[in-house]
Amino acid sequence: MTDTYDLSITRLIDAPVDAVWRAWTEHTADWFCPRPWTAKFHVMDLRPGGRSSITMSGPNGEQNDLEGVYLEVIPHRLIVSTDAFRTGWHPQGPFMVRVDEFADEAGQTRYTATARHWTAEARDNHAAMGFDAGWNAATDQLEEVARRLAS
């Protein structure tokens, strides 16, 4: 298949990979969704096949429960997750595969976050929901946390 239905952002974060990795894995609720939204991580079993359970809450009482699994985890390099399955490999209506990549670049971190969709329609709907603004705002928050951890 040559067509991909990705939305992606790439950022050079002014913090070392270790700090960005720790921000992503240990302080996720501090950055995961753009303020004023909040995220509560019920389960974050960061290993292949491990469960992810998150509730995102909006300022007007909105609530979005996210359930999925981690597909691949390479410490300080890669996290791949999906909502196509819930724990135990039980299929559920998929939205995307999320790929987070971390690479050292002269002491800073080249961070790439990709949302990979099954169809062009799903990709376009995610873009219309505010992918660019939302994921860039979350990445700004990730950088804030990483810089704090690095200092």
Distance CA 109, CA 146 (A): 10
What is the predicted pLDDT for the residue at 52?
96
Long-range contacts at 16-19 (CB < 8 A, ≥ 24 apart): 16/104, 16/107, 16/108, 16/109, 16/150, 17/76, 17/102, 17/103, 17/104, 17/109, 18/76, 19/109, 19/146, 19/147, 19/149, 19/150
> Residue range 102-119: average pLDDT?
97
pLDDT surpasses 60 at 78:
yes
Please work out, in degrees rounded to the nearest 5, the angle formed at the alpha carbon of residue 122 by the alpha carbons of 63 and 69: 60
What is the predicted pLDDT for the residue at 4?
85
pLDDT surpasses 70 at 3:
no
pLDDT tens column, 112-144: 999 999 999 999 999 999 999 999 999 999 999
**Residue 30: phi, psi to the nearest 5?**
-75, -15
What is the predicted pLDDT for the residue at 75?
97
**Residue 83: phi, psi to the nearest 5?**
-105, 10
pTM of the model: 0.93
Q: Among residues of the chain, what percentage have pLDDT more than 90?
A: 93
pLDDT tens column, 20-49: 999 999 999 999 999 999 999 999 999 999
3-class DSSP assignment, residue 16: coil
Distance CA 66, CA 86 (A): 10
